């Protein structure tokens, strides 16, 4: 089964055909229509570049050179700036500055059609015209720099089909960046094995940083603090490049461990764990004093669907942690 809908018509030429003016008009109309349809549907309409409106006096504005596509897909070009006089408008008028397309057949030459870009100042907007700015005149019919608003200016934004922009199409600088987080860990749980050393006390978590306790269980804290934290990954991340950590105080030593975790969908098994050395991406010790450390991760590949990141930090004395940041890419 097939159904057809007509898209358009164009002349079909053959040898010996008598061509009349309507044939040439139809030919031109066909190509103009196709180009306008292409511009409007694949690119949209509005200002492509230039056509900036600025104050040029108490009762005038200047519009710079530029290029636009109007609401019917026609190209509007201005090769030089123009000044529009607004003195004829009553005080307190709101004036619209627009760009539009216009054709005209010269009275002295019926064999030609001329087409123009038209800049206009009016109290309304013509059909298909491109809005450039709105000018509010004061009680004396004058304007200042603040009188010109571009809130309603129509800028061309490319029309993109769903799914047409993928990560690979982005500029390199947009495919890589820092994910910044405050350190907000959970306490390290007690292992049931009596041979295992008891975990350090948990960190004290504030709104912007985590700190070790000065006192814990009513006694001075000599064991520091410890905690673990998952690092949420945006969709599509496939690699972690660096880890940065910073804080104002570190009396003794901080031990930072970054783990790759998640799920192996093919093998149907867990990925990660302290015993899995292949997924321990980083282990770093930081000595006392204020610190701001950035560590390179050599093999930080992540599964874009099932890979996770988590962080384990343990201090042997009083410490404060303000920032945890990972550099990731897509």
The pTM for the full model equals 0.59
Residue-wise pLDDT for 290-322, tens only, equals: 999 999 999 899 999 999 999 999 999 999 999
Give residue 107's pLDDT.
72
Residue-wise pLDDT for 279-290, tens only, equals: 999 999 999 899
Q: How far is CA 184 from CA 49, 193, 310, 320, in A?
A: 47, 27, 12, 12
Give residue 274's pLDDT.
65
What's the CA angle centered on 210, arms 209 and 215, to 5 degrees?
Answer: 135
Give residue 194's pLDDT.
67
Name residues of the chain where pLDDT drops below 70. Answer: 192-194, 273-275
State the Cα–Cα distance between residues 193 and 181, nearest whole angstrom: 33
Task: For the chain, list the domains and their CATH numbers.
Answer: 46-149 (no CATH), 168-329 (2.60.120.260)
Residue 85: which H helix or E strand, with range? strand 82-85
Please tell me the number of Cα atoms within 13 Å of 142 on its side-chain side.
4
State the Cα–Cα distance between residues 140 and 163, nearest whole angstrom: 53
Give residue 193's pLDDT.
67
Look at residue 171 and give its three-state secondary structure: coil
Give residue 285's pLDDT.
96
């Amino acid at each position: 089964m097939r159904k057809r809908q007509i898209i358009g018509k164009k002349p079909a030429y053959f040898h010996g055909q008598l061509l009349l003016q309507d044939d040439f008009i139809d030919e031109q109309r066909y190509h103009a229509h196709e180009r306008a349809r292409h511009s409007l549907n694949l690119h949209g309409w509005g200002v492509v570049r230039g056509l900036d409106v600025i104050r040029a006096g108490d009762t005038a504005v200047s519009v710079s050179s530029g290029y636009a596509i109007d609401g019917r897909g026609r190209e509007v070009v201005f090769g030089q700036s123009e000044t529009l006089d607004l003195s004829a408008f009553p005080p307190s008028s709101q004036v619209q500055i627009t760009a539009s397309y216009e054709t005209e057949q010269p009275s002295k030459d019926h064999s030609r059609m001329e087409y123009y870009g038209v800049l206009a100042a009016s109290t309304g907007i013509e059909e298909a015209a491109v809005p450039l700015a709105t000018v509010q005149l004061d009680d004396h019919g004058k304007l200042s720099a603040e009188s010109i608003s571009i809130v309603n200016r129509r800028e061309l934004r490319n029309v993109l089909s769903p799914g047409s922009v993928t990560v690979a199409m982005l500029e390199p600088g947009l495919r890589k960046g820092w994910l910044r987080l405050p350190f907000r860990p959970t306490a390290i749980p007690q292992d049931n094995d009596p041979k295992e050393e008891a975990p350090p006390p948990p960190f004290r978590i504030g709104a912007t940083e985590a700190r070790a306790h000065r006192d814990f269980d009513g006694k001075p804290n000599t064991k520091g603090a410890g905690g673990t934290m998952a690092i949420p990954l945006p969709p599509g991340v496939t690699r972690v490049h660096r880890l940065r950590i910073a804080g104002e105080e570190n009396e003794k030593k901080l031990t930072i461990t970054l783990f790759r975790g998640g799920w192996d969908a093919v093998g149907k098994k867990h990925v990660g764990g302290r015993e899995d050395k292949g997924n321990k991406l980083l282990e770093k010790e930081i000595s006392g004093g204020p610190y701001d450390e950035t560590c390179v991760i050599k093999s930080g590949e992540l599964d874009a669907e099932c890979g996770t990141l988590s962080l384990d930090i343990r201090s042997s004395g009083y410490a404060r942690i303000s920032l945890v940041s990972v550099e990731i890419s897509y």
